[in-house]
Amino acid sequence: MKLEHRHFLQFSSHEPPNGSLYRRPFVESFEKTPMLVAVLTYMGYAILTIFGHLRDFLRAWKIEKCNITAEREEQKDFVPLYQEFENFYTWNVYTRVRDILNRPICSVPGATMDLMERVSHDYNWTFEYTGRIVRDVINLGSYNYLGFAENTGPCADAAAEITMKYGVGVASTRQEIGNLDRHEELEKLAARFLGVESAMTFGMGFATNSMNIPALTGKGCLILSDELNHTSLVLGARLSRSVIRVFKHNNMQSLEKLLREAIVHGQPRTHRPWKKILILVEGIYSMEGSIVRLPEVIALKKRYKAYLYLDEAHSIGALGPRGRGVVDYFGLDPSDVDVLMGTFTKSFGAAGGYIAGKKEMIDYLRSHSHSAVYATSMSPPVVEQIITSMKCIMGEDGSTIGCDRIRQLAENTTYFRKRLHEMGFIIYGNNDSPVVPLMLYMVAKIGAFGREMLRRHIGVVGVGFPATPIIESRARFCISALHTREMLDRALSAINEVGDLLNLKYSRQRIRPSLVCSCDDNSLEDIDK
């Protein structure tokens, strides 16, 4: 049983890994899955599988009356769209928790939100709306880290004003007649914000990765990808036709081993040197809440003459004293990262993404990237939303809104994580990451946790297989600067209550409650002793 890849990792504030490369404490925890919990989780899946096959057998003999999952008569002559396992998993696992997923909201995704109430009379295969609204639900699921996804304030006012002047759509690509002056201003502002020579923007964050990586690498190139990279990075790497090798998550020994092998052995069969070696990593890993060990990655990249592609989708705006991402968080030089990528969908409350770096690379992408050549230009109000929020973060709007929200997000993150640890939950990730995964493990508890939290007017996101390993289902909280201490306390009280109800407090490492947050090893207590 493979459990050892999840270990409890704790660095004290005095002895960070590779201390000479780090200017601040680097504390992450990945507590090992308890053996009993792992066994019960596998047993749960086994029971679901057995009963699923039993129901299919009974359905074939017309004994089972529920035929919702049966193949329709008119579809039997067609080739199945899905593999047998995918159908089986959807019928017997996914539908059981579908009521807590894809919930429609009818308000701004701020610190609180309104949900449309719905019910199902056919085991979550279809839903009916009751017409009632569940109001003032505390939002712990949206990526609204700095709270700029709002319908009032300077960003909303600027977006509304620009809509009246430019309209909503551009109806052309940047290469033709869809290049507005606001696009040009945004790219200059983004380059200045990131501290690089040049930047270019795209209308879709996912396509920023999947369509630009193939323009940067190709046959004869090697991509070294973290095992937990986002699907957009994985797809972009596959589309590039480069050779892909995967290293263990945030494991510098694994990455260095692959780099050495690449340099020594070269390409398969011919053993010629690789044309290019590109390392793909993320700033914050959205399912783990971990932060890339960027100082060590840059050191390895320089040592072995590789290129570095950094995806800051979740970290830009959410990390660093100036909100400029993981590079700012570690106090590094942006020029040490060859390709800076990020999205405007999280901290900026908008849509789209960017690629930034040297002017020579950006000029090349303008004519070779499929996203730049074929995609419709970014909508003017979306551009204005990004410009206004970015100026707020930089302090160029004449206020301290951006600075205050960056500081508030950091305080909220530290407080929320510390309280959950004290309660006895297993929490993954870095102490400074606003993405907070709380481990549920058992698939049945995904649905139970989501339903119980909603009864207490707390909106959460549950995540399971295939987005996570099969025994590592979790609830993922996203902290916002707009969350007040009262909101967080109310949410924590509900989580604590539901945790006791569902028996979710699996941690063997308890942090002793204290008024002062300490990163010293002495603040940890092994409850097995």
Flag whether pLDDT at 518 surpasses 80. no
Q: Quote the tokens at residue 358.
A: 């040297």
Tokens 């709306």 map to which residue?
129
* Residue-wise burial string across 347-384, b where 16 or more C-beta atoms lie within 10 A, e elsewhere: bbbbbbbbbbbeeebbeebeeebebbbebebbbbbbbb
Question: What DSSP letter does each residue of 178-214 carry, written as one string?
Answer: ---HHHHHHHHHHHHHHTSSEEEEES-HHHHHHTTHH
Query: Stretch 257-273: mean pLDDT, rounded?
Result: 96
Q: How much is the CA Rg of the chain, to the nearest whole Å? A: 24
Lowest mean pLDDT among 83-87, 299-303, 315-319: 83-87
Over the stretch 7-30, which tens digit does the pLDDT of each residue have? 444 433 334 556 578 887 888 989
| CATH number corresponding to 23-70+81-139+400-507 | 3.90.1150.10
> One-letter amino acid identity for 155?
C
Average pLDDT, stretch 261-280? 96
Confidence of residue 4 (pLDDT cuts 50, 70, 90): very low
Q: What integer pLDDT is reported at residue 86 of this predicted model?
A: 72
Under the banding of pLDDT at 50, 70 and 90, the label for residue 306 is very high
Higher pLDDT, 12 or 200: 200
- pLDDT score for 88: 80
Report CA dihedral (372, 373, 376, 380) to the nearest 10 degrees.
Answer: 50
To the nearest whole number, what is the mean pLDDT of the chain?
A: 90
Per-residue confidence (pLDDT) for residue 82, from 0 to 100: 64
CA atoms within 13 A on the CB side of 372: 19
Question: What is the Cα–Cα distance from 200 to 185, expressed in whole angstroms?
Answer: 11
> Which of 436, 173, 406, 407 has the alpha carbon at shortest distance from 289?
436
* Mean predicted confidence (pLDDT) in 171-191: 95
For the whole prediction, is pTM greater than 0.95? no
* pLDDT at residue number 59: 78
pLDDT value, residue 132: 97
**Mean pLDDT value of segment 302-322:** 97
Give the model's pLDDT for residue 244.
Answer: 98
- DSSP label at 270? T
Q: Which residue has the higher pLDDT, 101 or 91?
A: 101
**Domain boundaries in the chain?**
23-70+81-139+400-507, 154-394
- pLDDT score recorded for residue 68: 65
CATH 3.40.640.10 at 154-394, yes or no: yes
CA-nearest of 378, 316, 386, 317 to 156 is 386
Residues 6 or more apart whose Cβ sits within 8 Å of residue 437: 287, 288, 289, 427, 428, 429, 463, 474, 475, 476, 477
HSE-up (13 A, CA, CB side) for residue 456? 20
Strands 473-478 and 461-463: antiparallel
Nearest to 461 by CA among 446, 448, 472: 446
Whole-number percent of the chain with pLDDT over 70 = 91
Please give the Cα distance from 197 to 59 (Å, whole number).
64
Distance CA 76, CA 507 (A): 49
pLDDT of residue 61: 85
How many residues are given for the chain? 529
402 and 205 Cβ atoms separated by less than 8 Å = no
Going by the DSSP 8-state scheme, the letter that residue 173 receives in this structure is B
Report whether pLDDT(431) > 70: yes
CA dist., res. 408 & res. 470, Å (int): 35
Residue 453 pLDDT level (bands cut at 50, 70, 90): very high
A 10 A CB-CB count for 138 gives: 21
Of 53 and 252, more confident: 252
Judged against a pLDDT cut of 80, whether residue 416 lies above it is answered with: yes
pLDDT tens digits, one per residue of 50-89: 998 898 888 778 887 776 666 677 777 777 766 667 778 8
Residue 325 near residue 190, CB atoms below 8 Å: no
Quick: pLDDT tens for 392-406: 999 999 999 999 999
Q: Which helix (H) or strand (E) holds 215?
A: helix 213-216
The stretch 514-526 carries a mean pLDDT of 45
Q: What DSSP letter does each residue of 108-164 carry, written as one string?
A: --SSEEEEEEEE-SSTTSS-EEEEEEEEEEEE-SS--TTS---SSSHHHHHHHHHHH
Q: Is the pLDDT of residue 314 over 50?
A: yes
- pLDDT at residue 529, as a whole number: 41
Rounded to an integer, the average pLDDT of 451-461 is: 97
Spatial separation of the C-alpha atoms in residues 401 and 436, rounded to whole Å: 24
